[in-house]
Chains A and B, each alone.
Chain A
Amino acid sequence: DAKTTQPNSMESNEEEPVHLPCNHSTISGTDYIHWYRQLPSQGPEYVIHGLTSNVNNRMASLAIAEDRKSSTLILHRATLRDAAVYYCIPRRSNYQLIWGAGTKLIIKP
Chain B
Amino acid sequence: DADVTQTPRNRITKTGKRIMLECSQTKGHDRMYWYRQDPGLGLRLIYYSFDVKDINKGEISDGYSVSRQAQAKFSLSLESAIPNQTALYFCATSEPGDTGELFFGEGSRLTVL
A residues contacting B by CB (< 8 A) are: 32, 34, 36, 41-46, 49, 87, 91-95, 97-102
Contacts and interface: CB of A to CB of B under 8 A. Distances in A.
B42 A94 contact: no
19 contacts: A41-B106, A41-B107, A42-B106, A43-B92, A43-B104, A43-B106, A43-B107, A44-B43, A44-B104, A46-B102, A87-B42, A92-B98, A94-B48, A94-B94, A95-B58, A97-B43, A98-B42, A99-B42, A101-B42
B42 A100 contact: yes
The binding surface of chain A is classed by DSSP as loop
A101 B106 contact: no
Given A42-B106, A45-B104, A46-B102, A95 B90 contact: no
The binding surface of chain B is classed by DSSP as strand
Contacts, number: 54
Interface residues of B, number: 25
A97 B2 CA distance: 24
A97 B90 contact: no
A95 B42 contact: no
Contacts of B44: 99
Pairs A-B, 7 closest by C-beta atoms: A99-B42, A43-B104, A46-B101, A99-B43, A93-B98, A95-B48, A100-B42
A94 B98 contact: yes
| B40, B90, B102 pick with most chain A CB within 10 angstroms | B102
A102 B42 CA distance: 7
B102 A44 contact: yes
A53 B94 CA distance: 24
A46 B101 CA distance: 6
Interface in B15-51: 31, 33, 40-45, 48
